[in-house]
Amino acid sequence: MLSAGALTTTEKPLAVVSPKAPEGPVSRFAPGFAAKMNMVADLALVVAALLISTTMMGHDLHLERTDVWVLLGVGVVSWLVVGTALCLYDVRFADRERLDDLALISIQVMVVTVVLFLTRLVMGTESWIVALSLFPPLLWPSVALLRLNFFRKLSVQEQPLDEVLIIGVGAMGRLTGEDLGSKNRRKVIGYLGFSNESASATPPAPVLGSVKDLEHILCTVPVDEVYIAGNMMKHSAEMQAAVKLCENFGIPFALPAYHFRFDRARPVDDHAVSDGYLHFMTHAFQPHQMALKRLFDIVSSAAALAVLSPLLIGVALAVKFTSRGPIFFKQKRVGLHGKPFHMLKFRSMVVNAEELKAKLEALNEQTGPVFKMKNDPRITRVGRFIRKYSIDELPQLINVLRGEMSVVGPRPPIPSEVEKYAAWQRRRLSVRPGLTCIWQVSGRNQISFEDWMYLDMQYIDHWSLKNDINLILKTVPVVITGSGAS
């Protein structure tokens, strides 16, 4: 990425342009598709390598079939956990250097092999060491070749991962947009211009206004990150104001790493400024813990849906036969960075509940933009019971499995509530919403809206896997007793 000082272009007056169709081939796959397929393929290779290595040596060592099944289970689970901890299947894995990928795969195979060796030693069957010695040379080359020659290329055909906004329509801003678009990993939704700034050429995305419109844009358009492509000598005050707004909203932002022209000098760590920008977040960046959190979400939601299937079927039948309307209530909610999604719940109210809400606004018992009533007349008989014990929330396990929600996180608000948020309250959208959070175990409807928001900020600022586990353990007795629900 070049600095603005290194560019000489013919500048044009700043003007708002209409959107144009993206250039290049149309992406065929959803973001993360290649990573998911890569993980499934690797798990199949783990199973195959274990079966081949034990089958080849099993006859001579008289290995028991039950031992093989135990080994397969340990191998699959350890591969999943270690791979998640190493971020081997991060959606941006193709952005890594090929040698970095090989290093991670080597560590992964080595750690899983050690876990398998230790498992057999603990069980007192040293003869398995001979069979397992064939496991690494069978697994490593197959995993590495698939990753380097197929899945890295497949990921290039995915749709953009994030939607970004660029502040600055000069040479640096335009080249930033072209650079992000050419990698097909990020979609530039638009530009905002600095005051007294002229466009160097037609930007690759529409100009949405000036930097003064940033707050309005962040309130109305989902943005994953803001690139502030300004010149510190000319735009320092406006850049500082943009940084402050991004901090208030909890939106990640990036600032130019270079403000001077370099002919020979190179940064010591290229990875830190791979796109010419330094990236900032409003909460601690913990990619490995976040990857483990996502693995926990997938495993726990899938297991819960399987175990609770009899209860889910029973509730579905009760809802269907006791009141008119659909079994599920699908409501538009606001997710990570303001992206909308449809949250699923068992229907606990009458069909025209949303229409009746307007007539009941004067009876709202909750402060702020949230509507809550202890004796809401719209709730059905079955609905009152399943709401008290949070059974109506169980279909949201499907949202968790799909990645729209997490097990632990701030509750997802509805769009009309978000429109009334103060700027600092919108920071609760900087993390993925969840089934339970501090609010759930702190009295729920018995606490004020302001306190609710502060509790969510406390969760975001002090997040850790340990805190998530503690919140899950605290949620269980609250749900069983129905404490604080209405």
Identify whether the C-beta of residue 333 lies closer than 8 Å to the C-beta of residue 412: yes
Structure confidence by residue, pLDDT tens digits, 225-237 = 999 998 888 888 9
**Section 262-276 average pLDDT:** 72
Q: How confident is the model at residue 14 (pLDDT cuts 50, 70, 90)?
A: very low
CB 342 within 8 A of CB 333: yes
Distance CA 70, CA 55 (A): 15
Q: Is the pLDDT of residue 166 over 90?
A: yes
Residue 379, pLDDT > 60, answer yes
Highest mean pLDDT among 59-68, 338-347, 363-372, 474-483 belongs to 338-347
pLDDT in the model for residue 183? 64
8: confidence class by pLDDT, cuts 50, 70, 90? very low
| Phi, then psi, of 324 in degrees rounded to 5 | -75, 135
pLDDT of residue 373 exceeding 90, the answer is no
Confidence class for position 365, pLDDT limits 50, 70, 90: low
In this predicted structure, the answer to whether residue 368 has a pLDDT above a threshold of 70 is no
Q: Which of 49-63, 78-92, 177-191 has the highest mean pLDDT?
A: 78-92
Q: Strand, coil or helix: what is 206?
A: coil
Q: What residues does 191 pair with on adjacent strands?
A: 166, 207
pLDDT value of residue 56: 67
Mean pLDDT of the 116-135 span: 73
How confident is the model over 137-141, as a mean pLDDT? 93
pLDDT at 428 over 80: yes
What pLDDT shows up at residue 13?
43
Helices (H), 308-448: 309-322, 353-360, 381-388, 396-402, 415-418
* Mean local confidence (pLDDT), 352-358: 71
- Strands 434-436 and 406-408 come out as parallel
Per-residue model confidence (pLDDT) at position 285: 81
127-144 burial, b at 16+ Cβ within 10 Å, e below that, comes to ebeebbebbbebbbebbb
Q: Summarize the confidence of residues 96-118 as an average pLDDT.
A: 90
CATH code of 4-24+160-280, in short, is: 3.40.50.720
pLDDT band for 22, please (50, 70, 90 cuts).
very low
pLDDT value at residue 2: 43
Task: Tell me the three state secondary structure of residue 463.
Answer: coil
**pLDDT in the model for residue 178:** 86
End-to-end CA distance of the chain: 55
Residue 20 — very low, low, confident or very high, per pLDDT cuts 50/70/90? Answer: very low
The segment with the largest mean pLDDT, out of 175-184, 197-206, 276-285, 413-422, is 413-422
The whole-number pLDDT of residue 336 equals: 92
Instruction: CATH 3.40.50.720 in the chain: give the residue spans.
Output: 4-24+160-280
What is the predicted pLDDT for the residue at 11?
Answer: 43
Length of the chain: 486
Q: What is the pLDDT of residue 364?
A: 65
Q: What's the pLDDT at 4?
A: 40
Does the pLDDT of residue 222 top 80, yes or no?
yes
166 by DSSP, 3-state: which?
A: strand
pLDDT mean across residues, the chain: 83
